[in-house]
Amino acid sequence: MRDITGSTANECAVKIAQKYTESTDIVSLFLSHHGQTQFATGISGNAFRRKGFPNSTAPNHLHVPAPYCYRCHYKASYPGCGFQCVEAIADHIEYGSSGSVACMIVEPILGNGGNIVPPPGYFQQLRKLCNEYGMVLIADEVQTGIGRTGYMFASELFDIQPDIITLAKGLGGIGVPIAAVLMKSRLNVLKKHEHSFTSGSNLISLAAAQSTLDVVAQPEFLNDVKLKGEILGSLLNELPSKHKCIGDVRGVGLMWGIEIVDQDGAPDVHKANEIIETAFSDQRLILRDSRYGYGNVVKVRPALVATDDEIAEIVERLDAVLQKVG
């Protein structure tokens, strides 16, 4: 199904799940980001973005803890935790839902929430849970899709086996607006009048997507992203020994984040923002903070076509910024 934005693609995926399952409720993760429309903001796990907008809420909706091992909601440690973050979802459904659950929507890596990479086995547990409750599993790959992790879809990397994948961002190559909803054929249940937009099939966007896919689908391109991701990861992993404000470095492919902490290991949002501002003013380095500036993770996302030298330079400049900010 064609769409224009990631937000509306996610709305489409939820509609499909609700119609297919004849159920209502939607489960999503704390710290998730599924878009900027009122409904997509409602299902996203960052409630501060709804402040002042009483309609930015999704009825029949549950938020559950994210697989954020660095700051585990249950104060447990992987792998001994027994995936409490998945087990507890059953309780949330039991006590917090209407009992009619349609779908679970997850980002393979919670991008805006802090580049949170779920631990091995998480998605397999989640798949089992979705099967148990008859929930459609939606992978929101708006950030992780189209080569960002070195795979066309992060669902392949994590072996998620989703029923629906939503795409946007990278699909248009350089920001041409286009989104897509990929689904198993049995889920192709929406009629035209149930989800369509004036520019939903515009030829410029389709041409941009086709050209992007022609490039990204080449195995050597994806392989190159994987190799560059390894370089980026190993260079970023050298930084914590030099800079005490880095509590964690995590990522895959060309999607990385560094978690900024204070002396006690608590999230240091102020410093994360200072790093981002200084990176731009001193080094002309464009970085983004998690949670729209309310988070403490500095996101590092080079272009997929960045060269090895450019990746090394990005980390050198970041190193200089960390040196200055202290």
Name the residues that contact ligand PLP, by CB under 6 A. 5-7, 10, 33-36, 107, 111-112, 140, 142-143, 168
H or E stretch covering 257: strand 255-260
Name which of 15 and 243 has its Cβ closer to ligand PLP. Answer: 15
Measured at CB, which residue is nearest to ligand PLP? Answer: 6
Phi, psi of 181 (to 5 degrees): -120, 115
**Is residue 145 a contact partner of residue 167, using CB atoms and an 8 Å limit?**
yes
248's tokens:
């964690």
| Residue 145, C-beta contacts closer than 8 angstroms, at least 6 positions apart | 152, 153, 154, 165, 167, 169, 170, 171
Longest dimension (CA), the chain: 57
Task: For residues 312 and 321, give the distance between their C-alpha atoms in angstroms, rounded to a whole number.
Answer: 14
Chain centroid to CA 47: 17
Name which of 40 and 225 has its Cβ closer to ligand PLP. Answer: 40
Task: For residues 167 and 7, give the distance between their C-alpha atoms in angstroms, rounded to a whole number.
Answer: 10
Name which of 169 and 228 has its Cβ closer to ligand PLP. Answer: 169
Name which of 109 and 275 has its Cβ closer to ligand PLP. Answer: 109
Give the count of beta carbons closer than 10 Å to the beta carbon of residue 219. 7
**Closest CB 23 distance from ligand PLP, rounded Å:** 22
Name which of 140 and 248 has its Cβ closer to ligand PLP. Answer: 140
Name which of 18 and 143 has its Cβ closer to ligand PLP. Answer: 143
**Closest CB 241 distance from ligand PLP, rounded Å:** 31
**Closest CB 32 distance from ligand PLP, rounded Å:** 8
Name which of 10 and 283 has its Cβ closer to ligand PLP. Answer: 10
β-strand 61-64 against 255-260: which pairing, if any? unpaired
Peptide bond into 119 cis (omega under 30): no
β-strand 101-106 against 61-64: which pairing, if any? unpaired
**Closest CB 255 distance from ligand PLP, rounded Å:** 11
**Closest CB 76 distance from ligand PLP, rounded Å:** 26
Phi, psi of 208 (to 5 degrees): -65, -40
**Closest CB 45 distance from ligand PLP, rounded Å:** 11
β-strand 136-140 against 164-167: which pairing, if any? parallel
The end-to-end CA distance of the chain, in Å, is: 48
**Closest CB 5 distance from ligand PLP, rounded Å:** 3
β-strand 179-183 against 2-3: which pairing, if any? antiparallel
**Closest CB 91 distance from ligand PLP, rounded Å:** 26
Name which of 243 and 299 has its Cβ closer to ligand PLP. Answer: 299
